[in-house]
Amino acid sequence: MNREIKFIDLGLMDYKEAWDFQQKLFDEIVDIKKKNRQDNTNIKTPNYFLFVEHPHVYTLGKSGNISNLLIDENQLISKNASFYKINRGGDITYHGPGQIVGYPILDLENFFTDIHKYLRCLEEVIILSLKNYQISGERNEGKTGVWIDTNTPFPRKICAMGVRASRWVTMHGFALNVNVDLNYFNNIIPCGLANNIVTSISNEKNKQEIDIVNIKQSLKKNFSEVFKADFI
């Protein structure tokens, strides 16, 4: 098993460009696995972990409902936002500046073969990272992602997740709201959940500007610990 992960910070990148890059890495891993199976070889499969921020974009998962996008094409243009139907699980979400999007492209056979465990591990990475900001992240039973105050009248979602996996290779991942403009979530029914209140680290810290570099470092550290992996 190869538990080394190559880390790449893509900075601010167009959604489609980042999606194509993800797909290239995903296909690379799948092709190696096919070759190993067909030729009875044992070539080590690589793992990747990408960070990126996207310009304003709404994405709809393969099981999502287009009616959860509440604005039309002209309104998208006026908000300088784009829209994509994509091949991850989940419904609709928003990505934009001030949000850290993490794309782990892993051969899970290097770690464990359990998609539910994989999602719980991603949630744990976020929960541990939020502790640095005295924010108690929580799981919300039956709902993927990380929330705050789930047992109160005002539960708030701080991190959305949606993944794709094939041949135990993953792509897509999580979107952690840090300094993001939350007004953009008013244009959708986030994750297809009515009355879903979305928040950010900044919003929970009285609009304080959060250092993106620090939270990225925390996410990497906790990802390494949760997945028992080394970044290269």
User: Looking at the predicted structure, is the pLDDT value of residue 121 above 90?
Assistant: yes
- State whether the Cα torsion 56-207-154-163 is positive or negative: positive
Residue 196: the pLDDT is 76
Kindly report the number of other CB atoms within 10 A of residue 91's CB atom: 22
Give the tens place of pLDDT for each residue, 128-172: 999 999 999 999 988 899 999 999 989 999 999 999 999 999 999
Question: Which of 75, 165, 83, 77 has its CA nearest to residue 118?
Answer: 165
Going along the chain from its start, the domains and CATH numbers come out as 4-224 (3.30.930.10)
Residue 9: pLDDT over 90: yes
CA 180 to chain centre: 14
Q: 164: helix, coil or strand?
A: strand
Catalytic residue, from 100, 146, 191, 219: name it: 191
* Digit-coded pLDDT (tens) for 192-215: 677 779 999 999 999 999 999 999
Does 45 score more than 90 pLDDT?
yes
33-42, 86-95, 161-170, 216-225 — which is least confidently predicted? 86-95
Higher-pLDDT residue of 191, 148: 148
Residue 213 confidence (pLDDT): 96
Q: Residue 120 to residues 88, 125, 137, 171: CA-CA distances in angstroms?
A: 17, 9, 13, 16
For residue 154, give the nearest of 144, 140, 169 by alpha carbon: 140
CA 89 to chain centre: 11
191 is catalytic: yes
Q: Which two tokens stand for residue 39?
A: 């030729």
Assess whether pLDDT exceeds 90 at residue 91.
no
pLDDT at 141 (0 to 100): 87
21 vs 50: CA distance, rounded Å: 10
To 10 degrees, what angle do helices 115-130 and 212-226 make?
140
- DSSP, collapsed to helix, strand or coil, labels residue 63 as coil
- 179 band by pLDDT with thresholds 50, 70 and 90: very high
Q: pLDDT class for 62, splitting at 50, 70, 90?
A: confident
